[in-house]
Amino acid sequence: MKCLAGITVSTATALGLAAVPSAAAGPGDHVVRPGDSIQSAVDAADAGDTIVILPGTYRESVLITKPGLTLVGTRGRTVLAPPAADGTKAANACATGGNGICVIGTKGHTVDDVTIRSLTVSGFTGSGVWASWTDGLSVRRVTAESNGVWGIAQERSTRGEFRRNTATGNGDAGIFIANSVSEEGGATDTGGTAVVDNSVSGNRIGVTARRVRNLVIDGNTLTGNCSGVFVVGDESKPAAGAMTISGNRIVKNNKFCPATPRLSAIQGSGIVLTGSEATVVRSNVIRDNVGSTPLSGGVLLFKSFVGALNTDNTISHNLVQGNKPADLANGDTSGTGNTFVSNTCGTSVPAGMCAG
């Protein structure tokens, strides 16, 4: 059995240091305890190994560039926080970017099938979890809180799974899925990335899908953000969209966020589509999102700030009530093929889009 700093999974359990999850125990496991380096365990691991992080606070950033690794802690008790200012932990590329955990591949060599589970990333100036050029990344039961930019973020990646996480108090989106953050271009196919059953609150935006296609945003609870879900497209081709937003509870996203150079102020936004095509918004509960900004309302179609139109989107069978200035709003009347069908709501702009 592999070990780190002279401690194996079985030894840790025998010494009573912590209860290591039984599912994690195996020949390829490494155990990290307070005072040890998570990064050293990652560096020593082989593809397919599991790094078990015992309860404690670890002041470091962790960079993963190997496929198949699993990083698992004890939820609520294993915490990653920014390194100490005295530089006792060597800076890697993840720390240099101000991020907590990074999974980084390259265009020609993605990092595949990494799992991050049951830990907290808190207080980083960048993102709690940041991924680029990955395939099959799984982030589960992670708490990403009070990070400066994104809670959990993925770009240039496919087949990600983000399930049962908590993202709260982050400077931008709690969960962020994008084609690229460093260059313009058409929307990329995420290969069915799933954002499912997460609790997202107190961020600027709950979930942002920016210039991407082919993903599912389902069963999440989004409250206390400036906006619940924001789908962002532009004039590039392929257009953003071809996604499903369903079964979410989007309530009282009434935090106020001031305007930025690219976007007006946001408050009281449930679901916003800008420059999206063929997106399905179905069977969501969207209540009491109230504001007076151009992006306020329950479900809003909004022509993007670079003029890209919404086309062929379907908004159906949602319960949309108590949102102001309107439950449903089509602010992109130049867009074509957009339909509002069988939504239970009280107000719409233009009038007549509510079923009851």
What would the DSSP string read from start to end of 154-222?
EES-BS-EEES-EEES-SSEEEEEES-SSS----EEEEEEEEES-EEESSSEEEEEESEEEEEEES-EE
- pLDDT of 28 reads 65
- pLDDT of 349 reads 95
- pLDDT of 25 reads 47
Hey, what domains does the chain have and what are their CATH numbers?
58-349 (2.160.20.10)
- pLDDT of 143 reads 98
User: Rounded distance, CA 276 to CA 310, Å?
Assistant: 5
Six-digit token string for 289: 């999102």
Name the percent of the chain lying above pLDDT 70: 90
* Positions in the chain short of pLDDT 50: 1-25
- pLDDT of 22 reads 38
What DSSP state is assigned to residue 7? B
- pLDDT of 336 reads 92
- pLDDT of 89 reads 60
pTM: 0.91
Q: What is the dihedral of CA 62, 66, 72, 78, to 10 degrees?
A: 0
Element (H, E) at 43: helix 38-44
- pLDDT of 260 reads 86
Residue 290 backbone class (left: φ over 0; alpha: ψ -120 to 50; beta: rest):
beta
Element (H, E) at 64: strand 62-64
